[in-house]
Chains A and B, each alone.
Chain A
Amino acid sequence: KQEVTQIPAALSVPEGENLVLNCSFTDSAIYNLQWFRQDPGKGLTSLLLIQSSQREQTSGRLNASLDKSSGRSTLYIAASQPGDSATYLCAVGAAGNKLTFGGGTRVLVKP
């Protein structure tokens, strides 16, 4: 059974600092990995999708890497802003279009 872990569970940084969020998974037989942002009480906003054949994906200040063999993905957010404060979730996609989520990292960017 796939297990997805995100460490740390919470992170607080001053504005302008780069953010590094980690995601690990136990079963490397994945189709893709997706990073989401969730604001309190709200739905999920898709940030990046990395296909299983890709090593990296970039969108603006966001960069995500994927190392399938070691079961790891990292989300980098450059030059953090207070508006980046949210919970970030990684989810591993597998057969049947099933997404298995990590527990999330709660990020606070202090002005």
Chain B
Amino acid sequence: DTEVTQTPKHLVMGMTNKKSLKCEQHMGHRAMYWYKQKAKKPPELMFVYSYEKLSINESVPSRFSPECPNSSLLNLHLHALQPEDSALYLCASSHPGRNTEAFFGQGTRLTVV
């Protein structure tokens, strides 16, 4: 099973809403990631969790709050977003280490209105 599952697939939220994106994997991976992808652009790294601890935050605004409650789950809590935050949010996982393959989910298409 090389599947990373993201929910929901689509999300429309207002600028005052609070919502969460969820990501789950059962491959035993201990590194999990959030990427943001704007239309016709490559994915950009937001956060990396390694062994359930936040190891990299790529200077992401605090309106994005990641959480890794256990080794299989990764959440991204959203609050007071702006329309320019509309994008495809991708979750990925891998074994930590030098030569490991990253597996991506199908993404959540987020629209902020």
* Interface of A toward B, CB cutoff 8 Å: 31-32, 34, 36, 41-46, 49, 51-52, 89, 91, 93, 96-104
The residues of A that contact B6 with a CB separation of less than 8 Å are 43
Check B74 for interface membership: any CB of A closer than 8 A: no
The chain A residue with its CB closest to the CB of B49 is: A97
- How many angstroms between the C-alpha atoms of A96 and B55 in the bound complex? 8
Interface size grouping (class) on chain B = 20 to 34
Instruction: Count chain B CB atoms within 10 A of each CB in A89, A99, A101, A104 and give the residue with the most.
Output: A99
The chain A residue with its CB closest to the CB of B43 is: A101
Binds A, one of B11-19, B60-68, B105-113: B105-113
- How many angstroms between the C-alpha atoms of A100 and B4 in the bound complex? 20
The residues of A that contact B90 with a CB separation of less than 8 Å are 43-44
Check B33 for interface membership: any CB of A closer than 8 A: yes
Known: A31-B98, A52-B99, A97-B96. 10 other contacts (CB 8 A): A31-B99, A36-B104, A43-B105, A46-B102, A46-B103, A49-B99, A97-B31, A97-B55, A99-B102, A104-B42
